[in-house]
Amino acid sequence: MKMPQLPPDFDSIRQQLKNDPDRLAKILNFNVISGGTGVEKYLHWDKLRRYSTPEGFSYEEWWFALKMQRRRLFKTTPLLDKKGEPFKHLNTDPISEILHEIDQGAGGYIQMPDQIINPETKDQYYVNSLIQEAITSSQLEGAATTRKVAKELIQTGRKPQDRSEQMILNNYATMRQIGKLKHEQLSKDLVFEIHRCITEKTLDDLSEAGRFRRTGEKINIRDEYGEVFHEPPPADQLEERLVAMCDFANGKKDTYFIHPVIRSIILHFWLAYDHPFTDGNGRTARALFYWSMLRNGFWLFEFISISQIILNAPSKYGRAFLYTETDENDLTYFILYHLEVIRQAIKKLHGYIKERTKKLQAIESELRGISVLNHRQRALVSHGLRHPHYRYTIESHHISHNVVYQTARTDLLDLERRGLLESSKVGKTFYFTPVKHLEKKLAKLI
């Protein structure tokens, strides 16, 4: 990824135009934002210079007109850069549109797939999402373990064998913890707790977990060729900056309404910009984004992996940060990028659920052809696929299918022998429940 070309100096352009009042008036009256250019994207100078200019305009004049109109709409945030200048953003049409989609599709229950509303099946999708986020968030920070190995690590509970596996296990544990912490206000202690959980046993110096980087631990964000992309604020500012970040996250001292999703995105950017720790800043920033979304009632984010989308095009992630920093602290670039990531992540979840539903339907269809199971057993297994925690008894099977007790007992014991059910005894009653990974067991049987 290359450093984007820096925009021309705004004040220099304005000074030149002051010498030609008629020209300045024409530029200021040109409505760029409403589509006068035919370009609807929110362009950084690095991209704008690759488009054709509006007729009669130079690139610098076009940029000046664009910036003048943006400046009138900017809202400042409590986040300050190293020079004490505020970061700001504006609300463009694409932002309003996507926020409306997220409000409808991630905070309520209308038109939500039954699979993640149903308490009996939601855990399957919850755990899958946690695994996906744990793996991809770690891979963004350099973890080299394959998805197959990582899933096996989490699902079996074995001890991690290297730093990459430990990173993934830490991310998984952190995401589970976030769900429990969502009702708490953000504080220094909570941020440090999240950082400790994320970096446990992965730092060269274990004492660096859950504390600020120190003055002698200066860090820079560089590319593979050594070019510095970002220098975070000095260590002696971190205490004060974290207090301001927590106040912002908790909605204190707001001077205008900030949509909860925008607040969560800015919180993500804020911690990544400050880079308060020696390592684990990216993972901590994304964890704080999840904490904020869940705290504000966007419950669907228990099932969504944003890192999975970011990993598909990591350069866009980095470029969104750089566009913001190189254009007068304009957070709109990062907000637009992040909203599109969220939109894709929600779409991916719905696609995954649709694919899983088709797979279940296919298995149920194929069940009809399994001659080793009778029609009662096939009906029970089909029900068990959609109700993985359901408890069957010999009595309930006997009543459901109107068969004698001995036939019902034989049906259930046969399914247990084939590895499709497992039994437990409570008092004098035997309970049968579908085994874990029932789909895989049936696939082998089919």
Go through the domains of the chain in sequence order and give each one's CATH number: 10-73 (no CATH), 93-355 (1.10.3290.10), 369-445 (1.10.10.10)
Q: What is the pTM of this model?
A: 0.85
Strand, coil or helix: 431: strand
Q: Tokens 């590895």 identify what position?
A: 419
* Angle between helical axes of 405-417 and 375-386 (0-180°, round to 10): 60
Q: Tokens 């980095």 identify what position?
A: 318
Assess whether pLDDT exceeds 90 at residue 444: no
Note the pLDDT of residue 343: 92
Half-sphere exposure of 140 (CA within 13 A, CB side): 28
Residues 63 and 315: their CA atoms lie apart, in Å, by 24
Percent of the chain that is helix, strand, coil (3-state, to 5): 60, 5, 35
The candidate with the shortest Cα–Cα distance to 265, out of 300, 306, 316, 219, is 306
The candidate with the shortest Cα–Cα distance to 341, out of 249, 264, 240, is 264
Whole-angstrom Cα Rg for the chain: 27
Of the pLDDT bands very low, low, confident and very high (cuts 50, 70, 90), residue 280 is: very high
DSSP class of residue 35 equals I
- List all residues 6 or more positions away from 333 whose beta carbon is below 8 Å from its beta carbon: 42, 44, 320, 323, 324, 327
Mean pLDDT score across all residues of the chain: 88
Of the pLDDT bands very low, low, confident and very high (cuts 50, 70, 90), residue 282 is: very high
How many secondary structure helices (H) and strands (E) does the chain include?
20, 6
Note the pLDDT of residue 118: 64
The string of pLDDT tens digits covering residues 342-395 is: 999 988 888 888 888 888 788 888 887 788 899 999 999 988 888 888 899 999
CA angle, 37 then 327 then 82, to 5° = 165
Assess whether pLDDT exceeds 90 at residue 229: no
The string of pLDDT tens digits covering residues 153-190 is: 887 888 999 999 999 999 999 999 998 999 999 999 99
Half-sphere exposure of 355 (CA within 13 A, CB side): 7
Of the pLDDT bands very low, low, confident and very high (cuts 50, 70, 90), residue 106 is: low
Residues 198 and 174: their CA atoms lie apart, in Å, by 6
Residues 315 and 336: their CA atoms lie apart, in Å, by 15
Quote the tokens at residue 104: 């409808």
Q: How many other C-beta atoms are found inside a 10 Å radius of the C-beta of residue 98?
A: 18
Of the pLDDT bands very low, low, confident and very high (cuts 50, 70, 90), residue 285 is: very high
